[in-house]
């Protein structure tokens, strides 16, 4: 009996010790990663609208700041978010997308935990300088007729599935930079069908410029809305070209991020 008593007492002491010594349980809530896709229309809109390349770069860098903020919210070690800039296909363009897209793609899941914070500034500077070079080479002529329409339809038809993540713990955001014309490249009067559905994709169309006075805006934007709805995209915003800081506010509202953008602090 005495041995049983001692054995029972020992088990009880070990149980209490293990409970006291065990580290507190971490929050089991899964990390929701964000996948930011920036799709650029580098057609004649770059020379038709005043300062368009500078505006585009300002806004893309603001999106990159949102990406960085999301990484910090994950305390770096949890972050698996990614951002990529892709170029809409454009017939006759001298731009070789592969020369730029590698340096405009960052996947935190592929970066060692020790390097995530340490090299944050270097990643940002490389991203911004590559963006500068891309736009410098994209303005290759002062004649609008030298530029062909960006084929956004082709991107949706052939490439977007490669850039999206389909798991349930990822939110996909597509920021589409375009003036709103030539919805499907050269086929201006016809929306070509995309059979795939993208209910998990959140889209923000930025820098649209159709006129509002003669109802052109309604006509053009209604086509975009119908096209997105046909692909079962539930969450999309059509943002007109306006004061760029107002556009940044709209971007951060879209992402539900409460941050302020300082262009001087976030570019090289």
pLDDT of 131 higher than 60: yes
Residues in CB range of 128: below 8 A, 6 or more apart: 57, 61, 64, 266, 267, 268
| pLDDT tens readout for residues 189-205 | 456 788 899 999 999 99
Q: Give percent above pLDDT 70 in the chain.
A: 82
**Contact of 80 with 36, CB cutoff 8 Å:** no
**Binning pLDDT at 50, 70 and 90, where does residue 15 land?**
low
Distances (CA, A) of 30 to 26, 45, 56, 88: 11, 42, 34, 34
Residue 246 confidence (pLDDT)? 96
pLDDT of 19 higher than 60: no
Mean of pLDDT values over 154-173 = 93
pLDDT of 17 higher than 80: no
pLDDT of 164 higher than 70: yes
Please, what sign has the CA dihedral across residues 163, 80, 249, 130? negative
Other beta carbons within 10 angstroms of residue 13's beta carbon come to 10
Mean of pLDDT values over 245-264 = 86
**Binning pLDDT at 50, 70 and 90, where does residue 8 land?**
low
Q: Identify the CA nearest to 179 among candidates 139, 217, 140.
A: 217
| pLDDT tens readout for residues 26-45 | 556 899 999 999 999 999 99
């Amino acid at each position: 009996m005495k041995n049983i008593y001692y054995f029972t007492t020992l088990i009880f002491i070990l149980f209490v010790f293990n409970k006291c010594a065990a580290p507190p349980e971490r929050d089991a809530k899964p990390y929701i990663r964000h996948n930011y896709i920036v799709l650029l229309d580098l057609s004649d809109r770059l020379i038709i609208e005043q300062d368009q390349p500078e505006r585009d770069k300002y806004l893309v860098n603001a999106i990159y700041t949102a990406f960085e903020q999301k990484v910090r919210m994950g305390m770096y070690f949890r972050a698996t978010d990614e951002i990529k800039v892709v170029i809409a296909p454009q017939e006759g363009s001298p731009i070789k997308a592969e020369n730029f897209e590698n340096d405009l793609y960052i996947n935190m899941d592929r970066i060692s935990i020790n390097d995530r914070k340490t090299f944050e500034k270097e990643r940002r500077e490389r991203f911004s300088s590559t963006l500068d070079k891309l736009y410098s080479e994209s303005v290759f002529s002062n004649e609008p007729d030298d530029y062909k329409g960006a084929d956004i339809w082709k991107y949706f038809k052939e490439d977007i599935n490669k850039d999206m993540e389909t798991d349930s713990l990822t939110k996909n955001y597509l920021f589409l930079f375009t003036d709103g014309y030539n919805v499907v490249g050269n086929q201006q009067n016809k929306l070509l069908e995309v059979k795939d559905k993208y209910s998990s994709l959140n889209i923000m169309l930025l820098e649209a410029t159709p006129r509002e006075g003669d109802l052109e805006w309604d006509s053009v934007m209604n086509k975009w809305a119908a096209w997105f709805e046909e692909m079962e995209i539930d969450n999309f915003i059509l943002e007109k070209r306006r004061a760029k800081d107002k556009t940044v506010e709209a971007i951060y509202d879209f992402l539900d991020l409460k941050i302020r953008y300082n262009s001087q602090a976030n570019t090289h």
